[in-house]
Structure 1
Amino acid sequence: MRQRKLTYLLAIFLCSCNEDPGINLGNNYKLAYSAQEGDPIIVTDKGIRGDAPTQIIGGKVLNFAFDSTFIVVVQKDRDSIMPRYSNLSQADQAFFQSPLKQYWIIDKRAKLFFDTKTKKYSNVYGPYDKKEYEQMRTELSVPLTLDLGVKD
């Protein structure tokens, strides 16, 4: 009887550890961790078809800010750095030393859908360099209170 209880408790524990709850960013968005690299990424809770979570912004999220309307993100994209190196340790070192940053804005007011022609999500703006990001922030009226704390 005692062993049955222990087995049952162990099964509950293992099942509950399976899913990373991440940080809730509102409107079904969250900051989670990539299963491949362990980097922070932005995903949806339910995916576009209502099934598994959908990765919206990958790479490595360096910082983010959000309110009820917007999510702003600064990240490094592994894909823009890694292909240049055949040695994984050299690629990792180059990635962490790289000053390259990309900026994103997610407008949570708009419905999320993937456009197969443009290969982009309807309400996700980016990747941008710092200047393009600042222009789009103004265009979308992103509040100044959403500060990424990044100084270039």
Structure 2
Amino acid sequence: MKYRLRKILFLLFGAAVGTILGCAEYQPTSLGNGYVVDFNIKGAKLSILNSKNTILVESQVLGYGFDSRYIVASQRPWDSIPECKFLNGESPDQCKLAFEKSNFCQYWIIEKKNEKVFGPYSLEQYNEQHRQLGINAEIELKTR
């Protein structure tokens, strides 16, 4: 009995330490001027938020880049995946697998000064808008 109680306490302690360390590991990524890449309050999905915690690019942000004037982002919305609409009894695991296999991607540009949001764009539209706005070619969409 003592062994079993010790084992349970050890597992609970390990889970608590893992949770604390896991939470301490994550920090929102600053994009300058109060903008961040963070997990939004609507369900722990990676989004871009402004300084007022307003979601500008809804989840799921796949990649992003920024400079002093612009933020660029690639995104795959969960609702772009048919299995994630749960219309036919799909499980969350089936949704996650379908999401990871999907090639769907849309693109966004945020002008920081005016908080103007351009998008969603296809890759071709994004590249054209990127060129028209004269965004620094050094800004790359980095995957988090």
What is the TM-score when the length of structure 2 is the normalising length? 0.71
Per-residue deviation, 1:73: 0.3
Is 1:44 matched with 2:46? Answer: no
Equivalents in 1 of 2:46, 2:142: separation in Å? Answer: 17
Computing the radius of gyration over CA atoms, which structure comes out larger, 1 or 2? Answer: 2
Per-residue deviation, 1:38: 2.8
Q: Which runs of 5+ in 1 are unaligned?
A: 1-16, 48-52, 113-122
- 1 or 2, which has the higher helix percentage? 2
2:10 corresponds to: none
Deviations, residues 46-84 of structure 1 (Å, cap 9, x unaligned): x2xxxxx11111121111110100000011111221226
Higher relative contact order (CA 8 A, sep 6+): 2
RMSD: 2.5
1:76 corresponds to: 76
Per-residue deviation, 1:39: 2.8
Per-residue deviation, 1:92: 1.7
Moved over 6 A (4+): none
Per-residue deviation, 1:30: 0.6
1:24 maps to amino acid: S
Q: Which runs of 5+ in 2 are unaligned?
A: 1-22
Are the counterparts in 2 of residues 59 and 79 from structure 1 also a CA contact under 8 Å? no
Which one of the candidate residues 71, 75, 92 is aligned to 2:96? 92
Is 1:140 matched with 2:133? Answer: yes
Q: Percent identity?
A: 30
* Aligned residue pairs, count: 117
1:54 corresponds to: 54
1:65 corresponds to: 65
2:17 corresponds to: none
Are the counterparts in 1 of residues 65 and 142 from structure 2 also a CA contact under 8 Å? no
Equivalents in 2 of 1:93, 1:100: separation in Å? Answer: 14
